[in-house]
Chains A and B, each alone.
Chain A
């Protein structure tokens, strides 16, 4: 896209930041929901341009991070089953299960493959009729349409050797869980722009109304993020709580109707466990009716596996916005991207990895300001 560099204009970013500094009169905590936004904020040092009263709280929007340990353990069991070709996005390979990760299972000879799209897994199933091909279907509303179409296509092609291990999660119920928690400090949200590109933002006005929080649909470039923050601050200071779209070049109110129709065809809403957070009602998708025959959990009978999270990892608090990664005692010592204790250190969009990779190794707020590039 020809405007990409302009959305990173450092001088304009400084001016937007100056406007935010001039507007803030009281302490506010604003949560950016999406891990991609966390990553961009830390990478470009946007947090360091903000006034001290304004705190950015990192949200639960990293699909790799919130996939529960039981789902990883099920994946490990399926991947190790004889004759299986197990397909996944690359960043899932190093997420720790109770005892090990997909890399370790692959190292012992399991056929674990990284694919770019779930349609690649369908193609593999078509080309390998004697093998069972399983795709690890994780992710938020941004990823789910791809996985829904893969299942739909497998049904169209009559493939009996394709299945999906589903662990889909939904953003609005997680935002509601955060807002309804007694420990909540979040006063405004930067809603996840790419989730909204699929779902639109018609789901948010009731949430904004009920909890009296401004919600601003926000993109991922430095200027997008600063604009989202600026709009949230303006509302907080004025005492309003509207839903605003600060990402109109990508997001519409209705979202992508074709994708939503396919999602409704293939999936239905269910309760879902979130890593480190626990069960959130109506916060996930599972296969619906006629598509259940593509459920790997049933095909491989791995539903009852017992799992345990690392007792040292505090990612649940990080994902709920009550703990900064560098306040975790394991951060940067026993837990690093090379030896991760939790998924938030594995994923490139995880808050712990973002802090580690961009040098937030000291206490919050003591770093030198850097200019966005």
Chain B
């Protein structure tokens, strides 16, 4: 139940005085509350849980992490450790 899913902000609007957004999750659209991410706008990615965006997802860091993993993989090869 505590899992959150990342979605892309397509539109931002107001409902009963609360900042909301329409997000797409791999093609599925949902309206979620953006009250806790006041700086997030159209085109940004956010992690959504229980109908609330709780954290902006940082694409640059994601790419960086993957690059590090890839380099580590090369390192593990050089250490001669047989994978699998």
Interface residues of A (CB under 8 A from B): 1-4, 6-7, 9, 11-12, 14-19, 21-22, 34-36, 39, 61-64, 89, 91, 116-120, 139-140, 142-143, 145-147, 149, 153, 156-157, 192, 194-195, 197-198, 220, 223, 227, 248-251, 256, 258-259, 262, 347-349
Instruction: From B16, B75, B76, name the one whose CB has the most chain A CB atoms within 10 angstroms.
Output: B76
Query: In the complex, are the beta carbons of A194 and B3 less than 8 A apart?
Result: yes
Give bound CA distance, A227 to B76, whole Å: 13
B4 within 8 A of A: yes
A195 & B2 in contact (Cβ 8 Å cutoff): yes
Which chain B residue shows the least CB distance to A39?
B3
Given contacts A119-B51, A256-B37, 7 further A-B contacts (CB under 8 A): A7-B66, A142-B4, A194-B3, A250-B55, A256-B55, A348-B1, A349-B1
CA distance A260 to B45 in the complex (A): 21
Closest chain B CB from A129 CB (angstroms)? 15
Q: Which of A89, A91, A256 touches B54 (beta carbons < 8 Å)? A: A256
> Given A143-B50, A194-B47, does the pair A36, B2 have CB atoms closer than 8 Å?
yes
Interface centre among B8, B16, B75, B83 (most CB of A within 10 A): B83
Q: How far is the CB of A88 from chain B (nearest CB, A)?
A: 11
CA distance A333 to B54 in the complex (A): 40
* Nearest CB of B to A133, in Å: 15
- Determine how close the nearest CB of chain B comes to the CB of A91; give it in whole angstroms: 6
A89 → chain B, closest Cβ, in Å?
6
User: What are 22 A-B pairs with beta-carbon distances under 8 A?
Assistant: A11-B83, A14-B84, A15-B72, A18-B76, A18-B83, A19-B81, A62-B1, A63-B1, A116-B30, A117-B51, A118-B51, A143-B1, A143-B49, A146-B52, A194-B4, A220-B3, A227-B65, A227-B69, A249-B58, A249-B62, A250-B55, A262-B35
Which chain A residue lies CB-closest to B66?
A6
Q: CB within 8 A of A139: which of B2, B6, B63, B73? A: B2
Q: From the candidates A1, A22, A119, name the one contacting B6 in the complex (CB within 8 A).
A: A1
Contacts of A349 in B (CB 8 A): 1-3
Cβ–Cβ contact A258 & B37, under 8 A: yes
**Residues from chain A with Cβ under 8 Å of B72 in the complex:** 15-16, 19
Interface residues of B in 34-67 (CB under 8 A from A): 35-38, 45, 47, 49-52, 54-55, 57-59, 61-63, 65-66
For residue B30, give the distance in angstroms from its CB to the closest CB of chain A. 8
C-alpha gap A18/B38 in the complex (Å): 42
CB-CB under 8 A from A251, the residues of chain B are 55
Q: Across the interface, which residues of B come within 8 angstroms of A19, CB to CB?
A: 72, 75-76, 79, 81
3 closest A-B pairs by CB: A117-B51, A15-B73, A197-B55
CA distance A259 to B50 in the complex (A): 14
A6 (CB) vs chain B CBs: closest residue? B66
| Closest chain A CB from B10 CB (angstroms) | 14
- A16-B73, A18-B76, A248-B65 given as contacts; is B52 within 8 A of A149 (CB)? yes
A95 CA / B77 CA spacing, docked (Å): 47
Contacts of B69 in A (CB 8 A): 9, 12, 16, 223, 227
Task: Assess the A249–B73 pair: CB atoms within 8 A.
Answer: no
For B75, give the chain A residue with the smallest CB separation. A19
Residues A258 and B33 in contact, CB atoms below 8 Å apart: no
A120 cross-chain contacts in B, Cβ below 8 A:
51
Instruction: Considering the complex, give the chain A residue whose CB is closest to the CB of B3.
Output: A36
Contacts A117-B51, A250-B58, A259-B54 given; does A14 touch B83 at CB 8 Å: yes
Most A CB contacts (10 A, CB to CB) among B3, B81, B82, B84 go to B3
Cβ-closest chain A residue relative to B35: A149
| Chain A residues with CB below 8 A from B18, complex form | 119, 149, 153
List of B residues within 8 angstroms of A139 by Cβ: 1-2, 50
